Amino acid sequence: MSGASRAIRAACLAAAAAIATPAAAYVRSTDKGTGNALFWPKPVVPFHVSTAAAAQSPSCKGDPALDAVRAAFAAWRQGCSSLDLVFGGRVDEVATGVDGGHDDLVVFRQGFCTANAAAAACMASGAAGCGNTFNCFEDHTPLDRSIVALTSVLYDPASGRIINADIEVNGWNGASGSLAGGQQGPANGWYFTCVPSAPIRPVTCGTYDQPDCIYIDLQNTLTHEVGHFLGLAHTCTVDPGREPGLPLCDPSFAQTTMYPVTTPGDTEKRTLSADDIAGVCAIYPASGGGCGCGSGGAAGAIALLLAALALRPRRRATRR
């Protein structure tokens, strides 16, 4: 991705921090310039999963990974909401954002781009779309490695209508080694696991490809990202410079799915809190016919903007 397109990403990340209603902790994503809140204008939104192979933990081999994706979208189907998120199948596509095929795509990236010589050279050249070309996660700075998943939303700022949304899972590249990688993430991408929720959880994974353990829970991560997909921002922030206007995170926000940080072993975001449910039902009320709550609109060409929203990890010292 070029420097110019990164500037758009950073600016729109800050712009996506939005307005919380007094009655609830949920926050809607809005356009900084117009103030319009983002929403899907249609009641049924199909999503697709890339056919590209991805290195996965033994717990995610085969159907469990797809099951986790579908369960994450299903969590946001609520009786008080008109929105229906429908699995549209697998597609032969890895490109997201303006380079993609507008498939509303979930794609598993294969490690960091700097670990791929060709992708690293692409980024060093200033070319755009290197992550899409090589199906890797663009890590222009060490901070980028702390992102476990990223949702990109294309929308019309004049109305807030969402045109396309894609989710990139910052996945493992298949190399072996330790998961102890410091605050900027392990060297070979994030190790996602797919284990059922249970009162007694498996031990925290220490190495890539370790079986019978839990690390970054795939369903937990994707349930959070689907909230961004449908137009919700984080409930609070750990970085006011990137998300101005949001309250600083404290333990009172931690029960929400849209809390912006996660930890190895975290599965709590799989289940929506009352505030998350209030958010989806406010944007897509059952009585509203599924048209969302957009406002305004202007004649002329649609200006597409990119909103990027990420879930970051917080390291846990103790095992669960």
pLDDT in tens, 23-73: 348 999 999 899 999 999 999 999 999 999 889 999 998 889 999 999 999
Q: Which residue has the higher pLDDT, 261 or 200?
A: 261
Task: Quote the DSSP letter at residue 102.
Answer: S
Average pLDDT over residues 223-241: 94
Q: Which of 45-49, 157-161, 179-183, 298-302 has the lowest mean pLDDT?
A: 298-302
Q: Look-up: residue for tokens 């189907």? A: 77
User: Is beta strand 261-262 parallel, antiparallel or unpaired with respect to 305-313?
Assistant: parallel
Q: What is the pLDDT of residue 288?
A: 55
- H-type helices in the chain, by residue range? 3-15, 63-74, 117-124, 130-134, 218-229, 274-283
Q: Which residue has the higher pLDDT, 206 or 319?
A: 206
Q: 155 near 292, Cβ under 8 Å?
A: no
Average pLDDT over residues 275-297: 72
Q: What is the pLDDT of residue 63?
A: 86
> How many beta carbons lie within 10 A of that of residue 244, not counting itself?
12
Q: What is the pLDDT of residue 182?
A: 58
Rounded (5°) CA angle 232-152-163:
80
Instruction: Using alpha carbons, list the distances in angstroms from residue 200 to 65, 273, 319, 320.
Output: 21, 22, 11, 8
Average pLDDT over residues 301-310: 48
| Predicted model pTM | 0.85
DSSP per-residue string spanning 153-184: EEE-TTT-BEEEEEEEE-BB-S---BS---TT
Structure tokens given for 266 = 């975290």
Q: What is the pLDDT of residue 287?
A: 78
Q: pLDDT by residue (tens digit) across 81-93?
A: 999 999 999 999 9
